[in-house]
Chain A
Amino acid sequence: MNAESAPQDGDDRLIEVLRRALAEADEVPTEVVAAARAAWTWRTIDAELAALVHDSTLDDQELAGVRGAATVRALSFTVGEHFLELEVAEDGDRRSIVGQVMPAHEPGLVLEGADGRPPTDLAVDALGRFSARRLEPGLVRLRASGGPLVTEWVAI
């Protein structure tokens, strides 16, 4: 019998076989579920969430696919009149960041890590520039000290 004319229940049966195989082999790891639950602790109320609107590794086609060379990744976040640019450089197993927040938020920024690392205070100059070196890689976000502005999470 040609499979094209196979009855629908044959397809459903195969899906069921597959489902059972995957349910056993591909169960969500407990630590992954625990991390998903723990994401709740990063909930922010009334934050002005600056969305990641540009990621050079995604948007610059000519850069995508280039590996090995020491590349700098450029990220842009924006919400309302706020604009935040970030350049991330790989330094071995550490990361360096250089950025600018506009308008300049002189009280400074705080870098938070989803891995629960202690928050890092970043000084911001009159032009909105800031930098940090030797950061652990991971999921991070930047928050304006004493303000509602916070960026989306991004892996550096």
Chain B
Amino acid sequence: MVQVSRSEGVPPWASDTRCGVILYHRQVLDPDHTRQLVASAAEGDRDAWDQLVGEFSGLVWSVIRGCGLYGAEASDVSQTVWLRFVEHIDRLRQTERAGAWLATTARHECFRVLRRQGRQVVTAEVPEVAGPDDSEAVVDALVAADDRAVVLVALGRIPLRCQELLRLMTVEPKLTYDDIAAALDVPRGWIGPTRGRCLNHLRRALEVDAGDAASGAARPDATDGTGIRREERDSGHVKEADR
């Protein structure tokens, strides 16, 4: 059994246990802790291996889902990644970077599956986009409504590169920028600006979704469907009609 020391007052294993996975509060993994777990596992300590799975299965899964794989395909890639990790655990050079190694391997294996299926691998840059005029209000409304489905729908509508990045930014335990950069095969300095762009994309998608929910079927004539509608607009009645 691996002995792990952490600073006083910080619970070594925070939070609850669900589905056999230890979930942590937002804390960055301690590199020494990771190094010890990898060393112990490489020496044959199965408990250490189980702890590594607990620490990093969310990361691996997040990368795979961010690549756009689901169901059995996603499960197969996950298993491939963990089998590769077993193979390589006594060969890793920077053992404290096990998270980055797993993330990179997961992405690589995802691409292998996508390429075999003839699917596009997206590595394009994220286009610049201005956020909504009142971006805080969009988030305020979201927090107030506590509607998680809306967030997920919006996430599915932004560039894939953004979906990958934002998923990695929400992984538990929190990843370092170095790990995220390794996972996405980008320079560290790419992350900050792209994160800002991606959040603007997300805000816009949220705004559109909120707009759809507010109007949608309630105003079927809001489009340019009929001549009457256009006449109203041309004669300045459009505001009246929209109310």
Which residues of A are interface residues toward B (Cβ below 8 A)?
1-4, 6, 10-11, 13-15, 17-37, 39-40, 42-45, 47, 49, 55, 57-58, 64-67, 114, 139, 152-153, 155
* Contact present for A37 and B49 (CB under 8 Å): yes
Closest A-chain residue to B140, C-beta based?
A13
Q: Cα distance A121–B21 when bound, in Å?
A: 37
Q: How large is the interface on B (under 10, 10 to 19, 20 to 34, 35 or more residues)?
A: 35 or more
Give per-residue flags for B67-95: 1 if the beta carbon is below 8 A from chain A beta carbons, else 0: 00000001110111011111111010000
- Mask, B143-155, CB within 8 Å of A = 1, is 1000011011001
Bound together, the chains give a CA A39 to CA B85 distance in angstroms of: 9
Q: Determine the main DSSP class of A at the interface with B.
A: helix
**Would you call A35 and B75 a contact (CB within 8 A)?**
yes
Within 8 A of A (CB), among B16-67: 18-21, 44, 46, 49-50, 53-54, 57-58, 60-62, 65
Residues of A within 8 A of B229 (CB): none
Contact, CB under 8 Å: B57 / A33: yes
Known A37-B50, A153-B84; contact A15-B136, beta-carbon cutoff 8 A:
no
Contact of B170 among A19, A29, A37, A67 (CB under 8 A): A19
Beyond A1-B133, A26-B61, whether A152 also contacts B200 by CB under 8 A is no
B136 partner residues in chain A, CB cutoff 8 A: 1, 6, 10
In the complex, what residue of chain A is closest to B41 when comparing beta carbons? A40
Best-surrounded residue of A4, A13, A36 (most CB of chain B within 10 A): A36
> Is A31 in contact with B53, judged by CB distance below 8 angstroms?
no
Closest to B119 in A: A65
Q: In the complex, what's the smallest C-beta–C-beta distance from A91 to chain B, in angstroms?
A: 17
A24 to B196, CA, bound (A): 24
Given contacts A19-B170, A39-B86, contact A3 B130 (CB under 8 A): yes
B residues near A47, Cβ cutoff 8 Å: 87
| B200 near A35: Cβ-Cβ < 8 Å | no
Q: Does B203 reach chain A (CB closer than 8 Å)?
A: yes
B210 at the interface (CB under 8 A from A): no
In the complex, what's the smallest C-beta–C-beta distance from A80 to chain B, in angstroms? Answer: 14
Q: Is the beta-carbon distance between B86 and A18 smaller than 8 angstroms?
A: no
Enumerate B112-156 residues with CB–CB distance to A below 8 Å.
112-113, 115-118, 130-136, 139, 142-143, 148-149, 151-152, 155
A-B contact pairs, 26 of them (CB 8 A): A1-B134, A4-B130, A4-B131, A10-B139, A13-B143, A18-B169, A18-B170, A20-B148, A21-B152, A22-B62, A22-B167, A26-B167, A28-B19, A33-B54, A35-B78, A35-B82, A36-B79, A39-B85, A40-B46, A40-B49, A49-B91, A57-B116, A58-B115, A65-B115, A114-B79, A139-B76
